[in-house]
Structure 1
């Protein structure tokens, strides 16, 4: 993927999405003796970065596919994004969602007019269900991450980061990105590495779902073998995507892992120091920095805050 594809996606999306702010964190910067910036996709339309990839995919679809509608599988953020994008294109959306998805994400998806089909994530395969439903009703599938148009849509964040940091006459030396299936980091890393070859890109995952960190270490796609409950519902991918890993294995410097306690601490920090509400998955990159999982002194660091769709119960936990 070259820079032209990302710039094209950014132009397409500019009419629909917010160009989210790159916030300078003065407190952390002083404390850590670094220049720390937060890319607040938590303020994005639908509450996460996912609208970028969903809209870009629909925009690039052949119009004949819009007649019957679109389908995806998601625990909530991509679900809401696809439902929102489908409304913009005046088509219907069907979402395969786990029955234990956060209630606020279920409500947000239904509020946008989507039809939800629930499944048991412990016993059923969401992709198999989705493909069967799509075939039966002739629906166009919009993958959550393993798709070129989704990746270039998410990569528009990289375009904005470069534009915003360049205006400050700085270079992004380190970028920390929340990682599930790998679409977000594939897009960001592709554009930024094309622009700044020496930038270091780190994936950040929740403990128990560190398939990217393990896969990067071994050089092959590995599945998570253990069952583990994590509050980071948006990052519970079982393995890296095929397309995303083929990109990321060449671009990511290292995979980092944070636990739930560290994530709640980061959510608390964002809320009370920055006035930003983050969902657990959206806070993992910030958690990795706060817990000093990288060498940061004298560096210019970009932290991607990927989402804000947190349920009230989890939000209360981070406040306690």
Structure 2
């Protein structure tokens, strides 16, 4: 399917299909974090950065957090997985008792997509073959296995993408299972975009309207889906010109080249490989081809910004201490941009002026163990 065929209407249809299976997660705010985000950084804080010696940005920000850490399996990935399964069930052979359905589905993932697909498939009594690297988090392996004692089968691979894909092809050839990739797939993208669809509606039902949404970016499914969700007005009758424009931004860790999407966005060429051990482990994958088309070639994303490991740690600590929420490092990367990336903050100051911006931030998930958190803050 061409990316041009994917629109806001595609995301709206996905939402109708998966509503019985997902949570409409809450949107939370924090006066404390608004104040911190709206306070200019000091000269000392900018020391050693590319903005050292420059006038600090003075943005006014009101933050709205879409808490997908409260989603089923603890992450937004449930949305795309349920959508992909429900779309498959509409195809010949996927009805109850169908020959294709009996063969099941297959994917490769080290984390949240593995657990999400296992849940979505077994909810409809569909077998799921999950390829997971042996270095995957024990927490995420256990979560994936927990969804069904017999329908879920985990196959262990090497840690590289080449090894994962080779084993996936081997198991698929043996079982005939249908492949559902973790992020670069139309049904996955549209499913993930439903988080932004809800966020816009939830904030818009109050006294505020969003000016922008920023999401984490790994493979790009959530960012591409969000871009589609904000690409035009709702299909309820209002014209695109009458709907407020919501800008969409991405965010990435910069550690060891994990900011492939940001660098590709600026160079005009997708970077196909990433090798990084950033603490934002959900964002270690390269931007997918279909997602690149939506994000860059269709110009549906305004920009993508990187942040450092220390900035991610700082944002994570603030969320845990001030909001009393448990989220994984990947989830706070957008907040780190709003707090610490001067390029983004200057944009908000310039475009928002004295009124400022209402900024939606998608907390992508909360699957992190106590042991994992302790290692991050050592």
TM-score range, shorter chain: over 0.9
Structure 1 length as normaliser, TM-score? 0.94
Query: Within the alignment, does 1:175 sit opposite 2:213 as a pair?
Result: yes
2:33 to 28, 37, 59: 28
1:235 to 265, 283, 286: 283
Q: In 2 relative to 1, CA 197–144 (structure 1 residues): closer, same or farther, beyond 3 Å?
A: farther
Query: Within the alignment, does 1:265 sit opposite 2:314 as a pair?
Result: yes
- Aligned length, in residue pairs: 318
Max Rg structure: 2
1:313 to 371, 374, 378: 371
Coordinate RMSD, CA, aligned: 1.8
2:135 to 74, 91, 100: 100
Give deviations 1:85-115, integer Å, cap 9, x for gaps. 0111101111111211111111101112321
- Equivalent residue number for residue 154 of structure 1: 192
- Whole-Å Cα distance in 1 between the matches of residues 335 and 252 of structure 2? 11
2:17 to 12, 15, 21: 12
Aligned-pair distance for 1:29? 1.6
How does 1:1-320 map onto structure 2 within 5 Å? 1-31=6-36, 32=38, 33-61=60-88, 62=91, 63=94, 64=98, 65-113=100-148, 114-122=152-160, 124-195=162-233, 198-207=245-254, 208-224=257-273, 227-237=275-285, 239-249=286-296, 250-293=299-342, 294-295=344-345, 296-297=348-349, 298-318=356-376
Q: In 2 relative to 1, CA 123–160 (structure 1 residues): closer, same or farther, beyond 3 Å?
A: closer
Q: Secondary structure at the match of 1:251?
A: coil
Asked whether the equivalents of residues 331 and 363 of structure 2 are also in contact (C-alpha less than 8 Å), the reply is: yes
Structure 2 length as normaliser, TM-score? 0.80
Aligned-pair distance for 1:119? 1.8
Asked whether the equivalents of residues 104 and 177 of structure 2 are also in contact (C-alpha less than 8 Å), the reply is: yes
Aligned-pair distance for 1:197? 6.6
Give deviations 1:31-76, integer Å, cap 9, x for gaps. 3132111111111010000010000000011214321111101111
Aligned-pair distance for 1:224? 4.0
Aligned-pair distance for 1:274? 0.9
Aligned-pair distance for 1:158? 1.9
- Whole-Å Cα distance in 1 between the matches of residues 206 and 190 of structure 2? 25
Aligned-pair distance for 1:259? 2.3
Q: Which runs of 5+ in 1 are unaligned?
A: none
Q: Secondary structure at the match of 2:374?
A: helix
Q: Secondary structure at the match of 2:85?
A: helix
Asked whether the equivalents of residues 109 and 131 of structure 2 are also in contact (C-alpha less than 8 Å), the reply is: yes
Aligned-pair distance for 1:319? 5.5
Give deviations 1:109-148, integer Å, cap 9, x for gaps. 1112321122222484322321221122100111111111
- Whole-Å Cα distance in 1 between the matches of residues 138 and 317 of structure 2? 21
